[in-house]
Structure 1
Amino acid sequence: MNEAKKVTLPRDVAEAIEESRESFTGGEIVSAAVGWNDYDERSLKLIRKWVQEDPYDARQELIMSALVNGFTIEQSPEEKLREYYEKINRTKYGTYGTARAECVIEGIEKTLSILGIQIEGINTK
C-alpha cells in the first residue's frame, strides 16, 4: 500500500486552508475550491482563485490531497536564500572551503545591498 504524501502549497493557500477549517468541513472547502458553492468567506475565495488558475485539474487534486494527507508550506524565495546562506556559513570550513564560502557569503550580502532587500538572518538582525 502506498504511503500518503504531504503536498507543498504556497503559504497564502496553506494559511487559507487552516483558517477555513475553523468553520468548514473538508468537503465544503473542496466544493468551494472547485466552484460548486460560492461561499463569501475570504479564505475560501483565495483557495478557489488559486485552484482555478492553470493547471486547474492538478490544483484540484492538490487541494483534495492536502485536506486528506496534510501539507507543507512552500518556502518563499527569501527563506530559500536564508537557508542557503546559513548552510554556506555553517560549512565554510568543510565542504566549500573558507575562501569560496566567504566569496559566496559576500556575493549574497552585496547583491541584497544593491537591490535594497533586507532579509532577517542575512543582512538584518
Structure 2
Amino acid sequence: MVARQLRPERTVVLVLLAAGVLVLFWRPLLGVSAFSADDMTSLDAPWVEHAPPGYHPTNLALGDTVNYALPAEVVLRHALVRHHFPLWDPDVGLGTPLGASLTIPVLSPFHLLQLLFPLWYG
C-alpha cells in the first residue's frame, strides 16, 4: 500500500490552524485558566467586597457561561453523580428543560468527553 502524502498547501493550512488554536486557547488547554467569564461574578454581591481595588474582569462577552451554562452544568453533574438523568432544571425561573437543552448539549460526544474532566477545566 502506498502512503499518501499531504500537499505542501494543506500542511501549511494545518500548521497555521493548529498555531491559531494554540495562540487563542493556550491558557485553557494547559489548565492555567478556564475559558469562562466566571471572574465577572466579582462585580456582584457578595463577591464585590473581596475583589482587589481596580479589579476588572477579563472577558465580559462570555456572560452566558456564568449566568446559565455553568449553573446548568453543575445541576447536570450533581444529577449524574446520583445516577439520575436530569430532564428538568427546577432552579431556573419556574423550571426549564435540561436534558433537551440547546445550550447544554447533554448527549453530544464533545460534552460527554468534557464530563471526564473537572468543571473548572471545562
TM-score by length of 1: 0.27
TM-score by length of 2: 0.28
Bigger helix fraction: 1
Between 1 and 2, higher relative CO (CA 8 Å, sep ≥ 6) is seen in 1
